[in-house]
Amino acid sequence: MPVFDFFHWDKDKGYTLAETGAILQVTVGIPPALEQLCLRDGIAIPAPITGYALIDTGASASAVHEQIFTDFGVQPIDHIPMSTPHTKDKFSFVYPAKIQFPGLNLSNDAFLSTMRVVGCELKWTTFDNKEIIMLMGRDILKWFLMVYNGVQSDVTLAY
């Protein structure tokens, strides 16, 4: 079972896990089918966007900053309700995306080739200048064993 360790530390701030939450680098790109279409039509493939994903065990699915899809020119493929005791009648679009985690050197990442992700307004920058562009929800976490070590400011994912 491959094990990946994400030590949250900053040279000025020290241990940062409690401040930033559990984060790992992520790359968001257009789905492979659209890449093929671009190649066929001689259109430049939009460069993938790299940022950080916040691991969010409270999220049923993964979400990505919606503007990224607007910039890519990727159309939504679904429209689903959002549930919370504080909001009613709110809906979000669902987008297809190629999601990759450079820190997870997975040999078999078929489950991430084209994902359905929710589009949300969620981009922000952590105090140590890491740009959050994604919430990694339980739809991805279901593949992993996760250890949150608050004392050592460390998160371990095993696949």
> Which residues are at the interface with other proteins (CB under 8 A)?
19, 31, 33-34, 36-37, 54, 56, 58-61, 63, 73, 75-87, 92-93, 96, 113-114, 116, 118, 120, 122, 124, 132, 135, 137
Cα distances from 110 to residues 17, 54, 99, 116, 149, in angstroms, run 29, 21, 11, 14, 29
From 118, 114, 120, select the one nearest 80 (Cα to Cα). 118
- Which of 33/145 has CB closer to other proteins? 33
CB 58, min distance to other proteins, A: 5
In whole angstroms, give the CA distance from residue 2 to residue 69: 31
CB closer to other proteins, 139 vs 154:
139
Least separation in angstroms between CB 124 and other proteins: 5
Residue number with CB closer to other proteins (48 or 76) = 76
Question: 63-65 and 115-120: which strand pairing?
Answer: parallel
| Nearer residue to other proteins within complex by CB, 3 or 90 | 90
Residue with tokens 């950080």: 52
Distances (CA, A) of 88 to 14, 54, 76: 41, 25, 21
